[in-house]
């Protein structure tokens, strides 16, 4: 009987694990070439990578390739293509846009134009763009307090109730995390034992 109860409890645990809803993961995607180390950085923090089909959906968009003239167009609110429009829409909605510093094309920038590009960068920062270097993505995830998990369900069988030696007129106190079998409920009725459900402590 004890082995049977253990088997029933095991099956119940597996069934409950399957039907309990799983929290949706936050999403991230790339504009430009995906970087494995950046993917690991966000996945270690519970994010899920998605294809860059719709830039308005993910919680985080990481831009790994950005031309200098694109920066000035974004800062000047003059998008020239769908990608630039999508990035501006994200900023207007106050959604996260991360630009990889190493992904900004600077090799052929004349010194005389440097001030203009720095000004564009300042403007984009004001609007919420986060400029990050590669080193920022190599830090291990900080251990956070695990989210509260649902209490494990306990299967209450007729045998378990019998072991409590309850008599007619007594009350069996159950909690929401208990699953009472049909046979156990029949036993309670037959023995004139009251069933009362209380909130779990």
For residues 117 and 174, membership in a common domain is answered with: no
The answer to whether residues 193 and 126 belong to one domain is no
Count: domains in the chain: 2
- Which residues make Cβ contacts (< 8 Å) with residue 18, sequence separation at least 6? none
Are 168 and 192 contacting, i.e. CB atoms less than 8 angstroms apart?
Answer: yes
Mean model confidence pLDDT for the chain: 82
Q: What pLDDT score was predicted for residue 22?
A: 47
Q: Per-residue pLDDT averaged across 29-43, rounded? A: 93
Q: Is residue 83 part of a domain?
A: yes
Q: Give the range of the structural domain holding residue 31, as residue numbers without chain letter.
A: 26-137
Residues 161 and 128 reside in one and the same domain: no
pLDDT tens digits for 18-29?
A: 555 445 788 999
CATH of the domain at 81: 3.40.50.1950
Cα 133 to the center of its chain, rounded Å? 24
pTM for this predicted structure: 0.57
Shared-domain flag, residues 126 and 169: no
DSSP classification of residue 99: E
State whether 102 and 173 are in the same domain.
no
112 shares a domain with 31: yes
Q: Are residues 120 and 180 in the same domain?
A: no
Q: Are 157 and 187 in contact (CB under 8 A)?
A: no
Flag whether 18 is in a domain.
Answer: no
Q: Is residue 168 part of a domain?
A: yes
Q: Render pLDDT for 141-183 as a digit per residue (tens, 0 to 9).
A: 655 555 555 567 788 888 888 888 888 888 888 888 888 888 8
Judge contact between 71 and 120, C-beta under 8 A.
Answer: yes
Whether residues 33 and 90 share a domain: the answer is: yes
| 58 falls within a domain | yes
What pLDDT does 55 receive? 85
């Amino acid at each position: 009987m004890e082995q049977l109860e253990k088997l029933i409890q095991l099956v119940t645990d597996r069934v409950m694990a399957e039907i309990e809803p799983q929290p949706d993961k936050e999403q991230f995607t790339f504009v430009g070439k995906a970087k494995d180390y950046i993917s690991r950085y966000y996945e270690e923090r519970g994010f899920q990578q998605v294809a860059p089909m719709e830039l308005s959906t993910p919680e985080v968009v990481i831009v790994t390739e950005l031309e200098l003239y694109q920066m000035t167009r974004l800062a000047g609110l003059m998008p020239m293509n769908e990608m630039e429009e999508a990035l501006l829409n994200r900023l207007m909605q106050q959604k996260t846009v991360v630009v990889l510093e190493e992904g900004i094309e600077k090799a052929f920038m004349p010194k005389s134009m440097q001030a203009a590009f720095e000004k564009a960068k300042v403007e984009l920062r004001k609007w919420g763009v986060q400029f990050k270097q590669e080193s920022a993505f190599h830090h291990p995830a900080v251990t956070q307090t695990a989210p509260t998990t649902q209490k494990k369900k306990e299967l209450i069988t007729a045998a378990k109730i019998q072991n409590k030696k309850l008599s007619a007129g007594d009350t069996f106190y159950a909690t929401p995390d208990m699953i009472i079998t049909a046979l156990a409920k029949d036993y309670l009725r037959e023995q004139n034992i009251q069933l009362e459900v209380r909130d779990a402590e």
